[in-house]
Structure 1
């Protein structure tokens, strides 16, 4: 029996990579310094895994931005608009594809970005053209293998599998299917494998998480053909085929017949698939199984007792030498090291395991599974006691919350009147112009704003001093919004850190780490709250600053909240009760806040739900159950107000086609979505469905440092105007503006307001 993982976090113990990338983008450090930071993180990761005793260590799991973007560069899948950059500077090309580039004579938009399966990690979407060719362009995978080798560490290079790579991308023109490009792509993969085997590589990990999806016959055959061709060319290569985030499902028969050395199973998401495999007539006992027993997406300690039973079941039919112990997926989705945490309550801390601790759990399970395991039995007893302590803890349960959940009625998830009735009342109450303008919520969090929060947290700023600074910042933002002519204002969220962390800090049932950062996209890191117990709200969370901001203006101002599904999805959630129950607990707390905002004069309230689509199970047969409780939770949070109060929601970087009916069923008065990177392509789902409520298709890509021109915004709005009722269209950025700086924000918002005014003038002229 051996131990391995699929991948390790790459941002650094204390976000060293984030800081280096942002310094490089700002021109504060050079390429050499950035590459040195990356090299140091890789070195630390490899040597830690070797020191702890992992048998097979991954390489090429590091990235300066995203592993799918790395794959695009590896195989030369570079959209035409970047070709002139490629001749000059590789890193400039790399980051231009990720973030866009606006300088001198170059002005290119970024590639589209969307969620990595059902996680909060975002990947760069490959772009494919008819007749697309590929080449072995970036040698990063080779370089990382040799880097590790120079440290004395022989690794398992990790590749995004060719079929998953193609399926994750998009055709940028009609007339072909991206899988048709496999015959052009596979020779490049074979060339890469050849170079790796020439260096003495024994194992290569191919990540094919598309095997967790409902694949059609063509897609299944593409998998079959790909690995048969690789095996024919490299019969001695040991292929470690990794699927994760769900079962193999209908793809299991194909997977079991593939000529691969090792098949990885996510036994956290789908524990029953081991029985299916062991009982299948297609299973070859000589195939090694990688048992993904350690949760790669959550922070709770493993239950050794339960895991050892699974190992025992597998070893009853498979020799121990043919079993691997691993995490369910890459540890990319977990924080680095629990040892860094000095402020977590000790009772709760004993229940947790971050990435470093999960390595120890993997190795402990391996050792406990061996025949002579007496020296490791103390680890079993320690683990058993921690899990028992958690189960019996009084910190977890709140009887009042449980009773409120039990007493929920159907009427709690419905507004008093239908949308048409509400729309009429809201138009009278708000008196907004055609094409009303707004922002999504946050304004730039400058160094000064962040420093105030840190000083306040450390006791260097009193509450009175801190409040005065925040009040002044809010006042300045209100004046700015009024000056440029925005129609529905926001208070800017200067008092907030992360959109989930802020609410978690004010709700019962959450605790927070100091260094529990995980990568969301590029240099953007989030520190998810740890949701350990029943959730409740003791007092208002946002009323103070929202009502203050509203007092400064006669224009309507939005109260800004994070929705229950997003708080659930973007937290490390307790695993001792159904997620539905936990989500409803959060929904009731948000409902109380919505009602309080209305009482304090807020006529517009936004409940952000960017994670609704992300939470969708990968297999379609599981969708209905999830959508039912997720949509209901949102409606519980939004349905306690009068018809005149306008409820907004916001979603970003999501594909809506398959769930548009459920989005409509949320019954928000206004939905704002990301559409600028996709050039309004994501709007198609709403148009084809004839979405009945109002909608704000984003016209400013806030994840790129470039400022959209007035003409670009107008063209996007004209696209929207041509397919949506003009009375239903709002004008807004794609997402919150927290990560942008003020000069670009002001210029972009001025262009947005000008574009809306120009469309209004056009409507007047047409009349």
Structure 2
């Protein structure tokens, strides 16, 4: 009989209990014991959900106060020198200082770099390795959670990130692979400690096996796992996900592990080869429940395809989600915004546990055949690419830049922000009252106009050159547009973690997408009427709306993206018609949609870049198009970024110590148009010093011509408060004036 388990479960709590406890602790509203109690309660409920669903194992170790990669950095003593003073006697505060640069105790410090977890919208904290990096194991937290779960009667399966993946995710001097001999003894000791804690199985995640790995990294797996297998008193389950294994399939199954997990949602074609590669003592874990979407699984399909596998393997077949359920909301039963007929189509994390059990029983001898799903036949990605083939602005950038310069007359090093301003408690309360029909549309609009007017007033006082309206009307940069467009379904509690305590509520694409009315025009037009300075129109780009939504599974993603692009093109035209001449079309999710295998890049970029260009293809040459991108590995996609042909691009770069900038100003030509590298980190509450910003501007001017350099924060300021924002932006503007004076 097949077994069931999962790779991980959401850790925010069914109603974001952990988020609220974290933020209350950071503000000093609760003490550390209260925070610890909140975390314990979330873990207990997660474990109980798995046990109640009948899973064979309860996954332990997937909980994190901020990030699972940061958990491992603390566990192995990877603490950069700048964090060694201040809160070392308070391990949890030290953890938060690493994550966000500040905690209730300890001095403020520059936070760790942050980037995307493979091709997801989840951000992890990048391990920082020194040249003489030494590792020291302290698994107290993990062992305590194992003991905690066992005391509640759970059959635990601890999960850890594998040594090769952990090193791959980090950065330092030279190749991080050189650190493997120093790191492996910590993993050996960790496995010994988990075995002593009576963990029958240990799950080791090595998702880099789904990448195009250099041969030297592939060669490192066998000797590393031989060391781990010899030391481990537990059985080892090697987990891969997010991508096909391909040339690494035989490598994975040849390792001395007791089982291998494959992502059969991303690579269903690899189930048969995996069965063939399995040795007689290994289990095969097949991820058939989509851990990254909310649609119910076609269980009839998997009953049909896995029945012969179940007959062949028996209890050596394990059923699971494709990846950790971290990327899906917690429990559909908490939803109040969805009608029952809608709920029948969806499965959040809790319901996915039930799907596993349903499939398990469906694979038993004599089980009833499950009802089949119907699929929608649709246009192909090739059709979409053909439609996008000629969607280019009529004028090249140099010609556009000349007429834009004449129109806007901006100073050298123009200052701006990325778009959003703080969403205050008062604003959230007004939005709640409007949503609950406690105030009228007229009263709600009046409050939004007051918020926008205040944002414009503050920017005028600060002396910014290009203003924004502040996005007071928006709950989220994607959810807002999903609510305005036909074809989307909106949830009340469909929250997923983006980073730390930051959660987002992705809309669900459930039909063909169209724009029934203008979405941003009235607010942008009103904001522009309050100032003689240009006010940017603010849109989220088609690729980001797609990638940060739960997509349809019955049509190509490219088709949904084209539908969004058509709707946004109409919005761009309407903004231009009311005099908005600088329009920002944000694409922070362009990179994360890229297939992890290089062989899929061209197909993706053909339609992703095409959809962005389609959105702004009709604008006049003197209309300036901006875009924004978040933390990512830009080097690999620089050609695609250049192909977007935005007049100005802003990027997050401060947490990387401006290293990301090298892709945009490197020897290969970099970004040919104008660029605004974020000069301070908005994800930290720390306010940058003026002298520090002057120094950064000097660094930027060494690689970017002054006439092409914009000055701006890393990202939107929605999550900060006005006191932090005002001080930081004032320092940014004054630093810019200082450097301008030097250049004249």
TM-score bucket (shorter structure): over 0.9
Aligned to 1:718: 698
Whether the aligned pair in 1 keeps the contact of 2:28 and 2:104 (CA below 8 Å) is no
Aligned to 1:729: 709
- Equivalent residue of 1:487, what SS? coil
Give how far 1:639 is off: 1.3
Aligned to 2:296: 301
Equivalent-residue separation in structure 2 for 1:513 and 1:107 (angstroms): 37
Aligned to 1:189: 187
Aligned to 2:243: 246
Whether the aligned pair in 1 keeps the contact of 2:385 and 2:610 (CA below 8 Å) is no
Greater CA drift, 113-122 or 652-661? 652-661
Give how far 1:409 is off: 5.7
Cα 1:104–1:336 shift into 2, 3 Å: closer
Equivalent-residue separation in structure 2 for 1:212 and 1:252 (angstroms): 9
Cα 1:406–1:164 shift into 2, 3 Å: closer
Equivalent-residue separation in structure 2 for 1:261 and 1:367 (angstroms): 24
Equivalent-residue separation in structure 2 for 1:439 and 1:284 (angstroms): 57
Q: Do structure 1's residue 565 and structure 2's residue 543 form an aligned pair?
A: yes
Q: Do structure 1's residue 55 and structure 2's residue 35 form an aligned pair?
A: no
Whether the aligned pair in 2 keeps the contact of 1:102 and 1:706 (CA below 8 Å) is no
Q: Do structure 1's residue 747 and structure 2's residue 744 form an aligned pair?
A: no
Equivalent-residue separation in structure 2 for 1:710 and 1:728 (angstroms): 22
Whether the aligned pair in 2 keeps the contact of 1:50 and 1:57 (CA below 8 Å) is yes
Aligned to 2:169: 168
Cα 1:340–1:87 shift into 2, 3 Å: closer
Whether the aligned pair in 1 keeps the contact of 2:135 and 2:182 (CA below 8 Å) is yes
Give how far 1:275 is off: 2.6
Q: Do structure 1's residue 486 and structure 2's residue 464 form an aligned pair?
A: yes
Equivalent-residue separation in structure 2 for 1:436 and 1:585 (angstroms): 34
Aligned to 2:616: 638
- Equivalent residue of 2:131, what SS? coil
Q: TM-score, normalised by structure 2?
A: 0.97
Cα 1:328–1:102 shift into 2, 3 Å: closer
Aligned pairs for 1:218-229 within 5 A: 218-229=216-227
Aligned to 1:757: 737
Equivalent-residue separation in structure 1 for 2:104 and 2:408 (angstroms): 41
Aligned to 1:38: 39
Instruction: Report the number of matched residues.
Output: 740
Cα 1:217–1:692 shift into 2, 3 Å: same
Equivalent-residue separation in structure 1 for 2:473 and 2:574 (angstroms): 19
Give how far 1:349 is off: 2.1
Give how far 1:94 is off: 0.3
Whether the aligned pair in 1 keeps the contact of 2:384 and 2:558 (CA below 8 Å) is no
Give how far 1:406 is off: 10
Aligned to 1:213: 211
Give how far 1:137 is off: 2.4
Give how far 1:187 is off: 0.6
Aligned to 1:430: 408
Aligned pairs for 1:262-411 within 5 A: 262-280=259-277, 283-315=278-310, 318-373=312-367, 380-381=370-371, 384=372, 387-388=373-374, 391=375, 408=387, 410-411=389-390
Equivalent-residue separation in structure 1 for 2:628 and 2:214 (angstroms): 32
Aligned pairs for 1:538-687 within 5 A: 538-687=516-665
Deviations 1:167-199 (A, max 9, x none): 00001x3xx311111111111111111111112
Equivalent-residue separation in structure 1 for 2:21 and 2:710 (angstroms): 37
Aligned to 1:706: 686
Whether the aligned pair in 2 keeps the contact of 1:707 and 1:747 (CA below 8 Å) is yes
Cα 1:409–1:608 shift into 2, 3 Å: closer
Give how far 1:158 is off: 0.5
Deviations 1:378-402 (A, max 9, x none): xx34xx4xx34xx57xxx99x9xx9
Equivalent-residue separation in structure 2 for 1:455 and 1:577 (angstroms): 37
Whether the aligned pair in 2 keeps the contact of 1:699 and 1:734 (CA below 8 Å) is yes
- Equivalent residue of 1:534, what SS? strand
Give how far 1:86 is off: 4.7
Cα 1:43–1:513 shift into 2, 3 Å: same
Whether the aligned pair in 2 keeps the contact of 1:693 and 1:728 (CA below 8 Å) is yes
Whether the aligned pair in 2 keeps the contact of 1:203 and 1:237 (CA below 8 Å) is yes
Aligned to 2:513: 535
Aligned to 1:142: 143
**Which of the numbers 201, 205, 222 marks the counterpart of 2:199?**
201
Cα 1:25–1:36 shift into 2, 3 Å: same
Aligned to 2:253: 256
Q: Do structure 1's residue 93 and structure 2's residue 71 form an aligned pair?
A: no
Give how far 1:314 is off: 2.4
Aligned to 2:432: 454
Greater CA drift, 517-526 or 269-278? 269-278
Whether the aligned pair in 2 keeps the contact of 1:508 and 1:537 (CA below 8 Å) is yes
Cα 1:293–1:531 shift into 2, 3 Å: same
Cα 1:279–1:201 shift into 2, 3 Å: closer
Deviations 1:298-347 (A, max 9, x none): 0111111111122124236x421210010000001001111222331333
Q: TM-score, normalised by structure 1?
A: 0.94
Deviations 1:658-684 (A, max 9, x none): 110110000000000011111111000
Greater CA drift, 599-608 or 211-220? 211-220
- Equivalent residue of 1:319, what SS? helix
Deviations 1:129-163 (A, max 9, x none): 11211111241110110000110112100001111
- Equivalent residue of 1:35, what SS? helix
Whether the aligned pair in 2 keeps the contact of 1:274 and 1:314 (CA below 8 Å) is no
- Equivalent residue of 1:321, what SS? helix
Whether the aligned pair in 2 keeps the contact of 1:76 and 1:138 (CA below 8 Å) is no
Aligned to 1:524: 502
